[in-house]
Amino acid sequence: MKTRLQKKIFIPVLAVLIFFSTTAFKNDFFEIAKQIEIFTTLFKEINMNYVDDTNPGDLMDTAIKSMLDDLDPYTQFYNEQDVEASRINNAGDYTGIGAKVLTLQDKLVIVEPYKNYAADKAGLKAGDEIIKVDKVSVADFKDDAANLLQGAAGTEVTVTYKRQGKTNTVKIIRESLEIKAVPHYSMVDEKTGYVVLRKFNDKASSETIRAIKALKNQGATQLILDLRGNPGGLLHEAVNVTNIFVPKDQLVVTTKSKVKKYNKTYYTQREAIDTEIPLVVLIDGKSASASEIVSGALQDMDRAVIVGTRSFGKGLVQRPKPLTYGTQMKITISRYYTPSGRCIQALDYWNRDENGNATRTRQENYNAFKTRNGRNVFDGGGVEPDIEVEYSKLSTITKAISNENLVFNFATNYYYNNQIEDLKSFTLSDADFRAFKNYIKSSGFNFETKTETALHNAILIAKEEALDTEIDSEYKALTKALQAYKTNAIDDNKTQLKALLTDEIIKRYFYSEGLYTYYTANNAEIKKALSVLNNPSQYASILR
């Protein structure tokens, strides 16, 4: 009779046998077999002989994640809970409290309660810090505590949270929530329709088509498609969205892999909704993957003017692969190429620097490709917009401030100390911005640039080589210049920071729906899109 430990060892060995019996290998068959055998025997010896008790599941989880860390960040292992979360993300349905949450070390923070859903109806607000779900302390929960909030529709969950220093408890009835791919569409003016596409789930193209038809019925003769902040999703939905604006049988994207069956070409399959309507597509540094397929294809076909900032640069395609016991992995199987032949992958995960970080393709190494009309477009660094909007590309210090949640936290405090009556005319005053600067200072925010780090390392090396006295004056001058930059950096990025603050504050009072309404009257990228669309000769000249 096998012991429990022997069974744990037997299962991986059996999996190895199945692995080899169902998988075709070429020249590396022996090397793979050798490494799996080494790992299996090592795993057995640790579990049998290590001085303290070990948890085989935890050990294996660490081993898998460490192995995948050497690849790209999109190749991931999913446990059973992760598999369900991925299904929800692609399907667009969700059961829980109806809020976007951020998981921190000892609490969950409500980022956004969805309007008129459970959390909102229970009175939760952005910035609320959940410290206990039912009787489970978030600080003591090892896995993603956000999973505690999910459950069957109609079930009750008790949430304990902190708000502005006070602790409160509320009971919430979970409910089903449909996460819309198109959360907003409206008329910007009497002839311009505006469509926000936030994700490429399996409803993306149908929701976009429905929005466009509704806007055309309202008189839209030109369109703005907003892909800013859209991280991507399903590849076939990217093809379908592109198909809305281009005819049937047009090449949208090609995937290339070392495995022949993954080498595919994707063409539009249906008749288009409108091949002539003037179109501007908005992108930014968070537009990735499927968003880049759509914007890149429409740019290559000279079908739309792209406005905003350079996109993220994710030119890799993943596919889910089922594993045993309900687990799964998502594995990068190929690179994708736009119709002109460019791959817009920005980071090289296979040729890392001395610190193990992925290297970014340098602009001087970009390759030029041609659109249908002969315009130059480039690979290697995301989709470059035809018109770049000033201040839209986040600076280094703006990213650092945002990543420290300082914009988010200031907006929380602002909400509890101010009232906003008129949405479209709201502006953040200079006094408000001064208050924000004081808040940054009081938070202890310490921003160190990559240049500072490199300079510090350089002087350490110089000391080892006894060269520090030779370059001391230059080092001090550079350090002084960097400090001067940091002192003035917040004011130099005032326009950008005020835009982020305004967006976050607007959402506190009027939810995301209100933010989109505010955008149509005030957003710089939408204003630029309008100016291009309302100038037909400029629009045509850009695409020629």
Read off the pLDDT of residues 232-273 as tens digits, 9 standing for 90 and up.
Answer: 999 999 999 999 999 999 999 999 999 999 999 999 999 999
Neighbours of 503 (CB within 10 A): 16
CA 175 to mean position of chain CA atoms: 26
CA–CA distance, 52 with 35 (Å, rounded to integer) = 26
* Residues 149 and 108: beta-carbon distance below 8 Å: yes
Q: Where along the chain do the CATH 3.90.226.10 domains lie? A: 184-320+331-388
Q: Where along the chain do the CATH 2.30.42.10 domains lie? A: 93-178
Length of the chain (residues): 544
From the list 81, 82, 83, 115, the residue with the least C-alpha distance to 99 is 115
At residue 106, the pLDDT reads: 86
Do strands 222-226 and 192-196 pair parallel, antiparallel, or not at all (unpaired)?
parallel
Considering the chain, what is the average pLDDT of its residues?
Answer: 89
Q: Is the pTM of this model over 0.75?
A: yes
Distances (CA, A) of 480 to 108, 395, 415, 449, 452: 40, 20, 38, 13, 11
Banded model confidence at residue 144, pLDDT cuts 50, 70, 90: confident
pLDDT at 10 over 60: no
At residue 11, the pLDDT reads: 47
- Fold exhibited by the domain 93-178: Pdz3 Domain (2.30.42)
DSSP 479-515: HHHHHHHHHHHHHHTHHHHHHHHHHHHHHHHHHHHHH
pLDDT at 119 over 70: yes
- What is the DSSP secondary structure assignment for residue 277, as one 8-state letter? S
pLDDT in tens, 294-325: 999 999 999 999 999 999 999 999 998 999 88
Summarize the confidence of residues 56-66 as an average pLDDT: 87
Banded model confidence at residue 8, pLDDT cuts 50, 70, 90: very low
Percent of the chain as helix, strand, coil, to the nearest 5:
45, 20, 35
**Which of 24-38, 413-427, 456-470 holds the top average pLDDT?**
413-427
pLDDT in tens, 500-526: 999 999 999 999 999 999 999 999 999
At residue 145, the pLDDT reads: 83
Catalytic residues: 289, 300, 314
At residue 455, the pLDDT reads: 83
**How large a percentage of the chain has pLDDT more than 90?**
66
**CATH code that applies to domain 184-320+331-388:** 3.90.226.10
Summarize the confidence of residues 401-420 as an average pLDDT: 95
| Alpha helices (runs of H) in 356-405, residue ranges in sequence order | 396-403
